[in-house]
Amino acid sequence: MTQRSSAGCPVIASPGPVAGPGSRSYAFLIDWHIRLLAALAWILAALLVRRPDWNPRSAAFWIVVGPALAIYLLYHPVIELAMRGQTPGKRYAGVQVVGRDGRPPGIRAILIRNALRLVDSLPFGYAVGLVTSVITTDRVRLGDLLAGTRLVERAVGPGVQPVVASPGVRVADPARRKLRS
């Protein structure tokens, strides 16, 4: 019989402790700055090449604004898929998204958790996501709950390999996990 959480979802076998609101927020702030700077860099580069008509009905407007919006909105799902459940912010904060089986999530789970990022951010400052990550038994935000994923703490430090590794790669020993002070 499958063990179930307070929300009725199957309990996820995670390879590390679930990340709390602090490391979750820290990773998000790093990623937010990266995607904001990347989007602004595109806008600046586009403005240097072409002076846009600021009318949203013009093609010049969308040449400047469209890619910046794509960078900002697609950053999390694309990078999480490419980096097997991590982003630069998550890697720096020592956390990783994993599926129910403890492995990096698939495309469906990544898309579900990131589509619900908008709901988690309501009404402001990720209030819904913060509250659900504090009150749910599994300590997950709404997007993670519906996608069947968790954000877990990872071993950090020089020479420590990820716990979730490709076949044939040595896995880090969780007992040697370094704690941040």
Tokens 């990078």 correspond to: 79
Residue 50 near residue 60, CB atoms below 8 Å: yes
Q: 46 vs 51, 78, 95, CA distance in Å?
A: 8, 22, 34
Query: Does 114 have pLDDT greater than 60?
Result: yes
Q: Give the pTM.
A: 0.73
Q: Is residue 26 part of a domain?
A: yes
Render pLDDT for 41-90 as a digit per residue (tens, 0 to 9). Answer: 999 998 888 777 788 888 888 888 899 999 989 999 999 999 999 999 99
Q: Is the pLDDT higher at 130 or at 4?
A: 130
Q: Is residue 110 part of a domain?
A: yes
d(CA 21, CA 133): 7
The H or E element containing residue 65 is helix 59-82
Number of domains in the chain: 1
Average of per-residue pLDDT across 104-125: 92
Q: Is residue 82 part of a domain?
A: yes
Cβ-based neighbour number of residue 174 at 10 Å: 13
Q: Is residue 16 part of a domain?
A: no
Q: Is residue 164 part of a domain?
A: no
Res 5: pLDDT: 52
Q: Is residue 8 part of a domain?
A: no
Res 157: pLDDT: 52
Q: What is the CA radius of gyration of the chain?
A: 18
Q: Is 102 left (phi over 0), alpha (psi -120 to 50) or beta?
A: left
Hey, what long-range contacts does 159-165 have (CB within 8 A, 24 or more apart)? 162/84, 162/96, 163/15, 163/16, 163/96, 164/15, 164/84, 164/85, 164/96, 164/98, 164/102, 164/103, 164/104
Q: Is residue 113 part of a domain?
A: yes
Q: Is residue 1 part of a domain?
A: no
The residue range of the domain holding 103 is 21-155
Average of per-residue pLDDT across 93-102: 92
